[in-house]
Amino acid sequence: MGAAKTITRQQPTLDDALGPYQFDRRRANRQPARGQRLAVVFGVQGGRWLLPLELRDTCSGGLGLIGEHALEPGDRVTLYDEGRRATFIKGVVVRSSVREDGRFDLGLTC
C-alpha cells in the first residue's frame, strides 16, 4: 500500500468571510477614466433602451459611470466604445445613487 496523503486545513481568510462580497468593486483600486459610451440597457423589470454614459473610473471588478437616468441593480448593460461598433463590454448594475448635480453615479460589475 502507498503512503497516506496528508491533508492540511487552511485557516479561513478575510476573503472567505466576505463570501460573494469578496469581489465588491468598492474594495479594488480604481483608476480615473474618461470618455463617453453608448449603453444598451436590458432592464431587470423588462424593456430595453439606449442611454449615453460618461466613464468615471475603472478597476479590476468593473466600471464607475455617470448617467442622466437612474438604473436598477440587476439591470444588464452592454457598453459600446465611441465610434467602434464591434468593441463592447457587458456588465450588471450593482449600484445607482443620485449625485449633487442631479445625475447618477452607477457601479457596473463586469
CA distances from 7 to 4, 10, 15, 74 (A): 9, 10, 22, 40
The answer to whether residues 40 and 48 touch, using CB atoms and an 8 Å cutoff, is yes
Q: How far apart are the first and last CA of the chain?
A: 49
Looking at residue 17, its pLDDT comes to 46
Phi, psi at 25, each rounded to 5°: -60, -25
Q: Does 66 score more than 50 pLDDT?
A: yes
pTM given for the model: 0.72
Looking at residue 81, its pLDDT comes to 83
Q: Does 32 score more than 50 pLDDT?
A: yes
Q: Which residue has the higher pLDDT, 9 or 49?
A: 49
Looking at residue 2, its pLDDT comes to 55
Q: Band the pLDDT of 15: cuts 50, 70, 90.
A: very low
Looking at residue 61, its pLDDT comes to 85
All domains of the chain, ordered by start, with CATH?
14-109 (2.40.10.220)
- Cβ-proximal residues to 44 (8 Å cutoff; 6+ apart), any chain: 72, 73, 74, 75, 76
How much is the mean pLDDT over the chain? 81
